[in-house]
Chains A and B, each alone.
Chain A
Amino acid sequence: VSVQVTLFGQLRHVANQDMLQRPLNGDASLTAFLEALSKDLGEDFQRLLLNEGRVRPSVLVLLNDTPIDKAAPPQLRDGDQLTLLPAIAGG
């Protein structure tokens, strides 16, 4: 029972990996999963991804190839694929 996570941008840089598989234990909410993932991958990763227990507004989260509305975070299921991309300023 696991979720595949693909990282882009600075998250990939600080995690020093582009893809990983993480078990889905206990609370299957997206937020709980990302908090647990952040604990594994260190403070810099956590700071880029989360703020006060929530995904930062600038981070794009795709679940199974489709962007999600972070205001309504989904429950994860076995085999889900998450993509995380922190958008950055400039335009």
Chain B
Amino acid sequence: MADEILIRINEREMGVRAGATLFEVLAQQKPGADVLVYNGAPAREDVLLKAGDELVFIKRGEIPAEAELEALMAARHTPGVHARLKSACVGVAGVGGLGSAIVIALARIGVGRIIAADFDVVEPSNLNRQQYFVDQLGLPKVEALAQNIARINPYVAIECHHVRLTPENIPQIFADVEVMVEAFDAADQKAMLVESFCTTFPERPMVVATGLAGHMPSNTVVTRRMGRNLVVVGDLVTAAAPGTGLMAPRVGVAAHHQANAVLRLLLGEDPEK
């Protein structure tokens, strides 16, 4: 109809009267909702709606229907981002301090498919920085992480490989990924992964981390493009070594640099600039 505009409410397309306002539509569609998100941001004032607007109405404390949950979880994403991320596949090699935080960040933003590989199990010294729990000690990290992701965002397909990665199995395990993430601890393994993945899939971007130990200033961790398809996160010089431990805050800073680099790459943006 000529006097209608199409908008999206809780991810469903809907026609509303041209000239309708946010608060009018709220009163009609979900009276009592106390969380209003308008195009990705909280709405505090009434606005005139326009075609293509995205609205999310949530009533605090109400458990939404399963069909609606995914849309509501994505309410604070920048509009238009969710669909792109939902169709994406990202690989993460190593799910320790970096990888567990990266996978959680990617799951929270709704990356549709994540392929994760790690040979290790959760042990007590991991818990100072890795995203696991005491009751997961002894579990393979990929299994523990899959459990945690299912609780955070059940709409993410996480494919886990409890295996030691080698130049022989890397091309097969990560054959489908659009963006690859290196999240190992050992320096020679980092280089091995880069060489194996980048020579097998030279057109696909890869995000690596080096130089994130200790408790140096956060701002010394940076994201650099180094080469056509290689993105490097870290200060490049602070290694985990006797006298310099691995601490949750700085490892987390680096992990989230990596996750943000993945997000920018998936959206066609330069991770560095």
Contact = CB atoms under 8 A, between A and B. Distances in A.
Q: Which of B185, B194, B210 has the most CB of A within 10 A?
A: B210
Contact of A58 (B96, B187, B238): B187
Contact of A57 (B99, B192, B209): B192
Contacts of B196: 69
B63 interface: no
Contact of A88 (B97, B202, B239): B239
B234 to A, nearest CB: 8
Contacts, number: 103
* Minimum-distance CB pairs A-B, first 6: A88-B239, A58-B187, A90-B240, A9-B236, A57-B188, A91-B185
B163 to A, nearest CB: 17
Interface string B192-232: 10111011001000001111110000000000001111101
Interface of A: 8-10, 13, 56-60, 62, 65-71, 83, 85-91
23 contacts: A8-B236, A10-B236, A57-B188, A57-B191, A59-B191, A60-B190, A62-B227, A65-B227, A66-B228, A67-B194, A67-B195, A70-B195, A85-B232, A89-B213, A89-B241, A90-B185, A90-B211, A90-B238, A90-B240, A90-B251, A91-B96, A91-B240, A91-B246
